[in-house]
């Protein structure tokens, strides 16, 4: 009995010691992992701080802090009369294992051009994966703007040569009257979490009118520098059908939602443009509510839709 009791106690002691050491090993492993990830994150943070300091020194006022707490920044890249605003948000995994989140604001560029530049930035990141990329991104954007400028210079030279060969065309253009641009209405500004939304509207009767209004709007510096200028128009044609189209300008699905809104309120011969100035904080679905509210407000204020108009079912 005594021997059995002693053996039982020894067994309990061995089990206790084994469990103790297993717990210690797990604690050590967990502790090492936690320490590893803390060092890992701190290394990312240190690289981000160094990169931001370098960009501030290189680009001065063109490099802006949008939201320091959320590590959101912007950069104005200028080349001639063209400019692109690059918005970036640095995530905890950047640069070691993930790229920064980015948006491009360039209302004067076509959607295909924006998509092309976005693809180039992704290629740059893949070629430098694990290291800082912001300087390379900025210079890649500048390089694309320079290419665009070179193309335009060539087009101007060709145009001038044609004009020299055809003096009558110059005389004809001088005799043309200044084209009348539809009146443009501007709505109130809606602000939410540092993002601002403003609606602009005009009565239009042709796609040519739409182009003229957009051109006039982009001459306003504040609007031209907006992060997104999404729009939609709906025009009644001679055969009582509708000519309609929309543009997201980088704000995914915003243009199609605007057009859907015009269809719901049965708007006719109307162009509505919504400018958004991004504040560095993601709004999620709330942004579409603000876009619709800005559109409704400016259209009602301009009497381009009725305040009491019944919605289509």
Boundary (domain end) residue, out of 167, 193, 214: 167
**Cα separation of 290 and 271, whole Å?**
18
* Mean pLDDT across the chain: 77
Pair (49, 99) in one structural domain: yes
Beta bridge partners of 234: 244, 270
b/e for 58-97, b at 16 or more Cβ within 10 A?
Answer: eeeebbeebeeeebbbbbbbebeebbbbbbbbbeeebbee
| Mean per-residue pLDDT, 118-147 | 86
Answer yes or no: do 112 and 198 share one domain.
Answer: no
Residues 96 and 191 in one domain: no
What is the domain-level CATH number for residue 241?
3.30.230.30
Over the stretch 62-116, which tens digit does the pLDDT of each residue have?
A: 899 988 888 899 998 887 777 888 999 998 889 888 889 988 888 777 777 888 8
Q: Specify whether 108 is located in the same domain as 219.
A: no
d(CA 186, CA 162): 40
**Phi/psi at 209 (5° precision):** -60, -45
Q: 154 and 197 share a domain?
A: no
Give the model confidence (pLDDT) of 198-247 as tens digits. Answer: 999 999 999 999 999 999 999 888 898 888 999 999 998 887 788 888 88
Side-chain half-sphere exposure of 232, counting CA atoms within 13 A: 22
pLDDT band at 54 (very low <50, low <70, confident <90, very high): confident
Of 221, 209, 210, 215, which is closest to residue 277 (Cα–Cα)? 221
Residue 7 sits in the same domain as residue 86: yes
* 149 and 245 assigned to the same domain: no
- Tell me, what's the pLDDT at 153? 37
Closest CA to 270 of 174, 200, 196, 194: 200
| 267-289 as b/e: b if 16+ CB within 10 A | bebbbbbbbbbbbbbebeeebbe
Residue 133: burial class (beta carbons within 10 Å; 0-12, 13-18, 19+): buried
Count the helices and strands in the chain (H runs, E runs).
8, 9
Question: Model pTM?
Answer: 0.48
Asked if residue 310 is part of any domain, the answer here is no
Amino acid 252: pLDDT: 79
195, 277 contact by CB (below 8 A): yes
Domain that residue 261 falls in: 184-301
Task: From 252, 254, 256, select the one nearest 244 (Cα to Cα).
Answer: 256
**pLDDT for res 149:** 52
162 & 204 share domain: no
61 within domain boundaries: yes
**pLDDT digit string, tens, across residues 6-47:** 455 554 545 444 544 444 444 444 444 444 444 446 688 888
pLDDT of residue 313: 37
DSSP 8-state code for residue 60: G
Lowest mean pLDDT among 62-71, 178-187, 191-200: 178-187
In tens, the pLDDT along 143-167 reads: 888 876 544 434 443 444 444 444 5
Question: Residues 284, 223: one domain?
Answer: yes
Asked whether residue 48 is assigned to any structural domain, the reply reads yes
Neighbours of 300 (CB within 10 A): 18
Is residue 306 domain-resident? no
The count of domains in the chain is 2
Which long-range contacts does 126-135 make (Cβ < 8 Å, 24+ apart)? 130/95, 130/96, 130/97, 131/95, 132/47, 132/50, 132/51, 132/95, 133/95, 133/99, 133/100, 134/51, 134/55, 134/75, 134/88, 134/100, 135/51, 135/54, 135/55, 135/58
- The answer to whether residue 174 sits within a structural domain is no
Query: Once rounded to an integer, what is the mean pLDDT over residues 176-193?
Result: 81
Strand, coil or helix: 177: coil
pLDDT of residue 131: 86
In a domain, 114, yes or no: yes
Helices (H), 228-285: 254-264
45 and 143 share a domain?
yes
Q: What are phi and psi of 253, to 5 degrees?
A: 70, 0
In angstroms, rounded to a whole number, what is the distance separating the alpha carbons of residues 306 and 289? 20
Residue 276 lies in a domain: yes
Instruction: State pLDDT tens for residues 245-299.
Output: 888 888 878 888 898 889 888 888 999 999 999 888 888 888 888 998 999 999 9
Domain CATH number, residue 92: 3.10.110.10
Query: In this structure, are 142 and 245 located in the same domain?
Result: no
Q: pLDDT exceeding 70 applies to what percent of the chain? A: 74
Q: Does 260 lie in the same domain as 145?
A: no
Task: Report the pLDDT value the prediction gives residue 175, as an integer from 0 to 100.
Answer: 41
pLDDT of residue 41: 62
């Amino acid at each position: 009995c005594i021997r059995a009791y002693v053996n039982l106690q020894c067994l309990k002691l061995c089990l206790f010691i084994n469990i103790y050491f297993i717990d210690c090993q797990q604690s050590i492993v967990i502790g090492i992992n936690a320490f590893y990830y803390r060092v890992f994150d701190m290394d990312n943070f240190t690289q981000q701080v160094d990169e931001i300091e370098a960009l501030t020194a290189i680009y001065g006022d063109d490099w802006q802090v949008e939201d320091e707490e959320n590590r959101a920044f912007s950069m104005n890249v200028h080349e001639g009369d063209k400019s692109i605003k690059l918005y970036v948000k640095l995530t905890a995994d950047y640069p070691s294992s993930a790229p920064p989140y980015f948006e491009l604001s360039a209302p004067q560029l076509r959607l295909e051009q924006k998509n092309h530049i976005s693809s180039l930035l992704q290629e740059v990141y893949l070629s430098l994966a694990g290291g800082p990329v912001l300087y390379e991104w900025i210079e890649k954007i500048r390089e694309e703007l320079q290419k665009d400028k070179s193309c335009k210079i060539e087009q101007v030279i060709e145009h001038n040569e044609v004009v020299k060969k055809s003096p009558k065309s110059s005389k004809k253009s001088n005799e043309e009257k200044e084209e009348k641009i539809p009146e443009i209405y501007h709505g109130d500004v809606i602000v939410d979490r540092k993002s601002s939304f403003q609606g602009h509207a005009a009565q239009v009767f042709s796609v040519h009118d739409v182009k003229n209004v957009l051109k006039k709007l982009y001459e306003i510096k504040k609007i031209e520098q907006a992060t997104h200028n999404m729009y939609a128009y709906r025009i009644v044609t001679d055969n009582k059908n509708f000519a309609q189209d929309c543009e997201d300008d980088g704000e995914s699905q915003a243009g199609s939602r605007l057009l859907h809104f015009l269809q719901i309120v049965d708007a006719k011969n109307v162009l509505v443009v919504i400018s958004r100035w991004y504040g560095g904080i993601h709004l999620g679905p709330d942004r579409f509510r603000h876009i619709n509210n800005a559109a409704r407000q400016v259209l009602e204020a301009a009497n381009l839709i009725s305040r009491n108009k019944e919605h289509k079912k």
